[in-house]
Amino acid sequence: MSKLPNITTSIFSVMSQLANQHGSINLSQGFPNFPEDERLLQISERILRENIHQYTPMAGLPLLLEKIALQTQKQYNRKVDITSEILITAGATQGIFTAINTFVNQGDEVVILDPSYDSYEPSVLVAGGKPVRVSLNDDYTPNFNRIESTITSKTKMIVVNNPHNPAGRIWTEQDFEALETILEKHPQILVLGDEVYEYITFTQPHISFNTREILKHRTIIASSFGKSLHVTGWKVGYLIAPENLMYEMKKVHQFLVFSVNSFSQYAIAEYLEVVDFSEVSKMYQQKRDLFQNLLKDSRFELMPCDGTYFQVVNYNAISKENDVDFAKKLITEHGVAAIPISVFYEDATDKHMLRFCFAKTDETLIAAAEKLCGI
């Protein structure tokens, strides 16, 4: 019997494959298409010849753990113990799967905010848990009345993705306070904070669960070097959690992957000595502004984009077709691939919205915008 009877191929694979098949500009799946930083390439070429090709310790290369601890201290003023509070994972995807499958038991409920990233629900289902999907407001801000009303004695976890994929919105101080007020009444609920876009924010600084005194003792934070260092294919991410939670997650991790590939860990550890994370938001802000400017006279309506490298648009002025059909037509007839937003809702809520990834060269964005402006 299938554990995931209603899950099909991820929309990211589907749209990228369609884009390739039709030779269209791929702004669907989120990955950069610009060249990697020369400094990371040089480090990589050099260390490939060194003695780095065997298993690293299970929880991660100690030098990389140290670098993450230093960065967490610098960025969020949180001291994390490298022996007990950090775990290197094969991308945030494995971190999220590990966190959910460590703590969610048969029948436990997990609150997921829709539109939601596609890996949360299957991770909960494999664990035997029950995903409880709660829609964000129309402007993609959290609706705390709805969140509170779904909590039961079986609620085990809430997943908070901030900055948010696909909507590109970020949580405010008031949002965190509202969540804290609710969760203080429910000490059994764990928080899974998916912060993979923590270094890509434009309108206000990212507020991390690393800084939330009330919740951090029961929060697992997932992050990814794929996003912050533009190496999605390297699949290196990490979890930060208090020792009692991390102890349990390491037990699962060691039989899921044991340890993550050594080469990427060595290269990233060394690169973290020279990289400046504040450059990441600046670079993407320029790309967001360019893309928004290019589309401002088009018939697409731009939604606010406070963070991430995704721009959501409404196409009501162009078509009344459902978003999946419209996205397919955009590929086959207009040569640009995007992600339809309805796929991120439990009930496929269709508000005629598409997500474009702007982590692309300026040339790619200009070429795509030219096509989009002609529609």
Residue 213 structure tokens? 């005194």
- 192 near ligand PMP, judged by CB under 6 A: no
Question: HSE of 354 in the Cβ direction (CA atoms, 13 Å)?
Answer: 30
Only one of the segments 56-64, 66-74, 89-97, 262-270 lies at the binding site for ligand PMP (rule: CB under 6 A); that segment is 89-97
Size of residue set near ligand GLN by CB under 6 A: 5
**Which three-class secondary structure state does DSSP give residue 149?**
helix
Among 18, 19, 25, 30, binds ligand GLN (CB under 6 A): 30
Q: Are 27 and 294 in contact (CB under 8 A)?
A: no
Shortest distance (Å) from residue 122 CB to ligand GLN = 11
Strand bridging mode 109-114 / 130-135: parallel
Query: Which is closer to ligand PMP, CB of 16 or CB of 319?
Result: 16
- 142 near ligand PMP, judged by CB under 6 A: no
Query: Which is closer to ligand GLN, CB of 69 or CB of 100?
Result: 100
The residue nearest ligand GLN at its CB is 30
Only one of the segments 144-152, 180-188, 224-232, 354-362 lies at the binding site for ligand PMP (rule: CB under 6 A); that segment is 224-232
For the chain, helix (H) and strand (E) counts, in that order, are 13, 13
- 29 near ligand GLN, judged by CB under 6 A: yes
Run of H or E residues at 107: none
Which DSSP category does 131 fall into?
E
Query: Which is closer to ligand PMP, CB of 65 or CB of 260?
Result: 260
Query: Which is closer to ligand GLN, CB of 10 or CB of 33?
Result: 10
CA–CA gap between residue 270 and residue 262 (Å, rounded): 13
Q: Are 209 and 245 in contact (CB under 8 A)?
A: no
- 226 near ligand PMP, judged by CB under 6 A: yes
In sequence order, which residues have a C-beta less than 8 Å from that of residue 227 and are 6 or more positions away?
196, 197, 199, 200, 309
What residue type is assigned to position 331 of the chain?
Answer: I
- 165 near ligand GLN, judged by CB under 6 A: yes
Which of ligand PMP, ligand GLN, none sits in contact with 10, Cβ below 5 to 8 A by type?
A: ligand GLN
- 30 near ligand PMP, judged by CB under 6 A: yes
What residue type is assigned to position 193 of the chain?
Answer: G
Shortest distance (Å) from residue 95 CB to ligand PMP = 8
Which DSSP category does 307 fall into?
B
- 10 near ligand GLN, judged by CB under 6 A: yes
- 117 near ligand PMP, judged by CB under 6 A: yes
Query: Which is closer to ligand PMP, CB of 72 or CB of 161?
Result: 161
Strand bridging mode 25-26 / 336-337: parallel
Q: Each residue of 280-292: b (16+ CB within 10 Å) or e? A: bbeebbebbebbe
Q: Are 285 and 202 in contact (CB under 8 A)?
A: yes
The residue nearest ligand PMP at its CB is 91
- 12 near ligand GLN, judged by CB under 6 A: yes
Shortest distance (Å) from residue 101 CB to ligand PMP = 15
- 237 near ligand PMP, judged by CB under 6 A: yes
Which of ligand GLN, ligand PMP, none sits in contact with 237, Cβ below 5 to 8 A by type?
A: ligand PMP
Chain centre distance of CA 87:
17
What residue type is assigned to position 120 of the chain?
Answer: Y
Largest interatomic CA distance in the chain: 59
Run of H or E residues at 229: none
Query: Which is closer to ligand GLN, CB of 150 or CB of 232?
Result: 232
Interface positions with ligand PMP (CB under 6 A)? 30, 91-93, 117, 161, 165, 194, 196, 224, 226, 232, 237
Interface positions with ligand GLN (CB under 6 A)? 10, 12, 29-30, 165
